[in-house]
Amino acid sequence: MQNKLGLSGIKFLNSQIKHLLIFDPKSNKTMQTPKCNYSKVNPTTLDSPKLLSLSSLMCEALDLDYNDVKLDPNTPEYLSGNKLLPESEPIAHCYCGYQFRYFAGQLGDGNFLFIN
């Protein structure tokens, strides 16, 4: 059995990203992403994020060491997007839809980090 890790010990292969249509903008501004499912993004930073709760069951499911994650001062920075986990590549899902009977155009719903 392998030793459990803290968040910074997660190894990202980003293999799914290599097979998706990903738009690579030069800024985080709102824009159309034709024929792409995802867009590369840099997360918007937050002031002074704090870890309010941590699930030991979820840490177990992700094979993370609960105490390492809880005690690491970087955990709020990683989970808020203020710091990127080593080798991670944040992307946002692109989609469009209708709101209040009107076409809302292209939307997005935040960051995805793919772990293999």
Q: Residue 100 belongs to what H/E stretch?
A: none
The pTM of the full predicted model, rounded to 2 decimals, is 0.70
> Three-state DSSP class for 54?
coil
Start-to-end CA span in the chain (Å): 18
- Number of Cβ within a 10 Å radius of residue 84: 16
pLDDT tens, N- to C-terminus, the chain (116 residues): 456 778 888 888 888 778 888 878 776 666 666 777 788 888 889 999 999 999 999 999 989 999 999 999 999 999 999 999 888 888 887 777 777 888 777 666 554 444 43
Helix, strand, coil percent content, the chain, rounded in steps of 5: 20, 25, 55
